[in-house]
Chains A and B, each alone.
Chain A
Amino acid sequence: GESVGLHLPTLSVQEGDNSIINCAYSNSASDYFIWYKQESGKGPQFIIDIRSNMDKRQGQRVTVLLNKTVKHLSLQIAATQPGDSAVYFCAEGVQGGKLIFGQGTELSVKP
């Protein structure tokens, strides 16, 4: 398959700290990128997206950065809260509305 899911990398942060989750994408032609949050037993929940004509986009407590030169995407979460604990997926949009997902990163927030 195109999405490789091995052992999930884990990021552990203290409540109130900022979190940075990184993602590398594969297709230079991808022009749309999106971050999802998935809590146990639920479907992925949309967080923020960005198109390739932008380098940065901000939402509420979240910022996505796109570096097309090195095909790298990052999600920054400000003032991380226990409710932010989840698995975070990046995905790139390719032709035909297809999303290719990264393996995911598990974020654990310590109170």
Chain B
Amino acid sequence: KAGVTQTPRYLIKTRGQQVTLSCSPISGHRSVSWYQQTPGQGLQFLFEYFSETQRNKGNFPGRFSGRQFSNSRSEMNVSTLELGDSALYLCASSYRTSGVNEQFFGPGTRLTVL
């Protein structure tokens, strides 16, 4: 089975712009979660989608949003980029339908905001 894929792998944007990141989960996985990783804050949960519905959300401002499509692929969007949004954005997929179990991570998208 192919693993979780994320595109693009690297991205450079300037302040005020917006960005869309894409994630394709492992085949058969319907849950997709997004995390932000920075040296200062570590790995932080952004949100989780299941069957095209957001089921859980972390403590991030409304500039961070996401969606999931009927084929379980997911996108996250960050609007009005700030310098502090520079981070590695990780997507993880899981076969879970309820509760919690292992999440499999993609390689991440490295976003740099100038």
Are B56 and A49 neighbours in the complex by a CB distance under 8 Å? no
Are B102 and A46 neighbours in the complex by a CB distance under 8 Å? yes
Are A32 and B100 neighbours in the complex by a CB distance under 8 Å? yes
User: Which residues in window 80-111 of A have CB below 8 A to B?
Assistant: 89, 91, 93-104
Does any Cβ of B come within 8 Å of A16's Cβ? no
Cβ-neighbour of B41 out of A3, A41, A91 (below 8 A): A3
Does any Cβ of B come within 8 Å of A1's Cβ? yes
- A98 CA to B48 CA, complexed, in Å: 8
- A102 CA to B106 CA, complexed, in Å: 19
CB distance from B22 to the nearest CB of A (A): 15
Does any Cβ of A come within 8 Å of B90's Cβ? yes
How many A residues touch the partner, as a band? 20 to 34
- A94 CA to B94 CA, complexed, in Å: 15
Does any Cβ of B come within 8 Å of A34's Cβ? yes
Among B31, B42, B90, B99, find the residue whose CB has the most chain A CB atoms closer than 10 A. Answer: B42
Cβ-neighbour of A45 out of B40, B41, B105 (below 8 A): B105
Q: Collect the chain A residues with CB atoms within 8 Å of residue B106's CB.
A: 43
Going nearest first, the 7 A-B pairs with the smallest beta carbon separation are A5-B42, A96-B56, A93-B100, A43-B105, A101-B43, A3-B42, A1-B44
Task: For the A-B complex with A3-B41, A5-B38, A96-B48 known, give 16 more contacts whose Cβ atoms are closer than 8 Å.
Answer: A2-B44, A5-B39, A34-B102, A41-B107, A42-B107, A43-B92, A46-B102, A46-B104, A93-B101, A94-B100, A95-B56, A96-B56, A97-B50, A97-B94, A98-B56, A101-B35
